[in-house]
Amino acid sequence: MAEVRLLSEEPPTKGVYGRFGPHLRPHRTRILLALLTTALSTAAVVAIAPVIGQAVDSVLAGDRDGLWFAVIALVVLTLARFVLLAAAELQLTKVGEDIVRGLRELVVRRLSSAPLRFIEAHRTGDLLRRGTGEIADLAQFVRASLPDLLGVGIALTLTVVVLAVHSLLLTGIVLVVFVPAAILVLRWFDRDADDAYGAQAAADATMTAHFTELVTAREALRVNGGVAARLLRFRGANDQVLSTAGRTVAVRNRLEGMTLLEGLSTAVLLVLGVWLVSVDAITVGTVVVFVLATRNLFEGMLGLSELLAELQMVRTGLARLHDLLDATDTEAGSGKAAAPARGELTATGLEYSYVDGVAVLRDISVDLPVGSRTGLVGHTGSGKTTLAKILSGLYRPDRGTVRFGGVDLHELAESELRRAIVLVPQRVHMVEGSVADNLALAPTEPDRAAMDRAVADLGLTGWVAGLPEGLDSPVGARGDRLSAGEQQIIGLIRAALVDPAVLILDEATADIDPETSERLEGAVERLRSGRTLIVIAHREATIARLPQLVRLSGGSVS
């Protein structure tokens, strides 16, 4: 069995911000402008305390001009703060949304080109959580918390500068009393934050995976009576989410120690400030500045600690997102070669396993000449569908090669491979929308005229005309408004839009009404002209019409 890169439940968070840098680099000019605006907005807030202190000293000194100057300065600072804050938040939000949009598109590109074996090795819920949930959390942080985080960081720096200008003695006392204790609280939080937030993210992903599986398999569960057992598993996953969330809250509550430090530090400052005023070491205005500024300092530190908790969650999400990007940082096909217009499809010595030691295919070799019609037949579990996926390039064999026109499929560019060989599965993937929306999924990006031509070429004009709104008819969620046969008709029209050299059809096993069956057979007959046709055949009538058969039994050609 070929090695599959599995995602880590709790990937390491060390250095994750540095790895995020390349996503920021294209926006660095806008980011620097936003930071400058944020700095000016924060400076306006920090300047309010010194101006109020000056106003107090002016009142005590009977300086009316100084008082008026302070009042005017306060009005200007308040207005400047309002305008600059709005501008900074708008700039950061726009930049942040552009970065998040780029990440979303990158994840979609990586997952769409990831090997099918990688996708099948992971729960849909986990991939969904990493590809959407983690990015949504990042987007929320960028919109709501990042401006506050930058503002708090700048405010703390400027506040310390203001305090130092007014009294080095009191500033030293504040730093000696507050900073070491605050650092201890933050380190206490950080010591267990990685594990707590990582475990919660992993539990959330597991719960999402169980929920997705429960919804997806709802019909089979109800028919087979497995709902109770699946609900029990979901309940266990939900309990684990509750447990990990409780631990996360306990770790986060350690930050409440900052509130206690604020009260103690304020009391110390007031006592020392009164004594220094009594010995004429400082003015009353300076005490006012310290009371206001240190309050801003403490609130800023408390706000910073709370933002660090959110930042920790974002860091965990980024680590999980980067883990996904690293695991999918390979093209489905490593080659760049162009596919020949037509060619023989040959498989030599194929072996494949889903689980180590349990071979699904063993030493399979087949030759499929240009224009041939071949049926893959055998009992359920004999390896027909697996072989079809290998022949179409969706799976890469553990051993052996598949060549088209003498070129190894792995050497073909992905776009070339998808145009040369098309697989129409039993259950054609459908998206909610119209028939035309589903035909538009063809890699050729067809317009309405191309769709009409493909429908006519396959003799399906009457079928389309019989739909309520023609090509604009809605297909429902997952194509539920269409029968299994009609869904395969959609798949065949998509194939016609691609015009492949090789068409692989996995014949539907569900009961198909005679009229739809006749349409399918007619469409296949028209579509096979000039191309190689491979059919995973289930019906005796289909098998009888195929001149060449490859019979599989236990993973080998019998």
Range list of β-strands (E), 302-434: 345-355, 358-368, 373-377, 399-404, 407-408, 421-424
Q: What count of residues does the chain have? A: 558
- pLDDT of 382 reads 87
320 and 353 together in one domain: no
Residue 3 domain flag: no
289 and 408 together in one domain: no
135 and 67 together in one domain: yes
Among 329, 361, 377, the domain boundary falls at 329
pLDDT of 504 higher than 70: yes
Which is higher by pLDDT, 124 or 393? Answer: 393
480 and 351 together in one domain: yes
CATH of the domain at 79: 1.20.1560.10
Residue 396 domain flag: yes
Q: How large is the average pLDDT for residues 400-418?
A: 90
Confidence label for 472 from pLDDT (cuts 50, 70 and 90): very high
> Could you report the per-residue pLDDT of 302-315, keeping only the tens digit for each?
777 777 767 777 88
Residue 4 domain flag: no
Beta bridge partners of 348: 401
293 and 370 together in one domain: no
First-last CA distance in the chain = 23
Beta-carbon-side half-sphere exposure of residue 101 (alpha carbons within 13 Å)? 7
Residue listed under structure tokens 């729960």 = 123
- Alpha-carbon distance of 400 to 391, in angstroms, equals 11
500 and 421 together in one domain: yes
In percent, how much of the chain has pLDDT > 70? 94
CATH of the domain at 544: 3.40.50.300
Residue 51 domain flag: yes
- pLDDT of 441 reads 87
- pLDDT of 464 reads 92
> Could you report the per-residue pLDDT of 179-226, keeping only the tens digit for each?
788 778 877 887 888 788 778 878 887 888 777 777 766 655 555 556
307 and 363 together in one domain: no
189 and 288 together in one domain: yes
Helical H runs in 114-167?
116-120, 124-128, 134-140, 146-166
Structure tokens at 85: 């804050």
Among 329, 360, 394, the domain boundary falls at 329
Residue 177 domain flag: yes
371 and 237 together in one domain: no
State pTM to two decimals: 0.62
| Nearest CA-CA partner of 372 in 550, 534, 532, 551 | 532
Residue listed under structure tokens 């009353």 = 284
Residue 1 domain flag: no
236 and 302 together in one domain: yes
Beta bridge partners of 355: 358
Residue 2 domain flag: no
- Alpha-carbon distance of 168 to 175, in angstroms, equals 10
- Alpha-carbon distance of 468 to 483, in angstroms, equals 15
Number of domains in the chain: 2
420 and 310 together in one domain: no
Q: How large is the average pLDDT for residues 414-440?
A: 88
Among 329, 360, 384, the domain boundary falls at 329
Residue 10 domain flag: no
> Could you report the per-residue pLDDT of 11-43, keeping only the tens digit for each?
888 888 778 778 878 888 888 888 888 888 888
| Max intra-chain CA distance, the chain | 110
Residue listed under structure tokens 């096979």 = 528
441 and 415 together in one domain: yes
Residues spanned by the domain of 531: 345-557
Which is higher by pLDDT, 144 or 174? Answer: 174
Is the alpha carbon torsion for 208, 213, 216, 219 positive or negative? negative
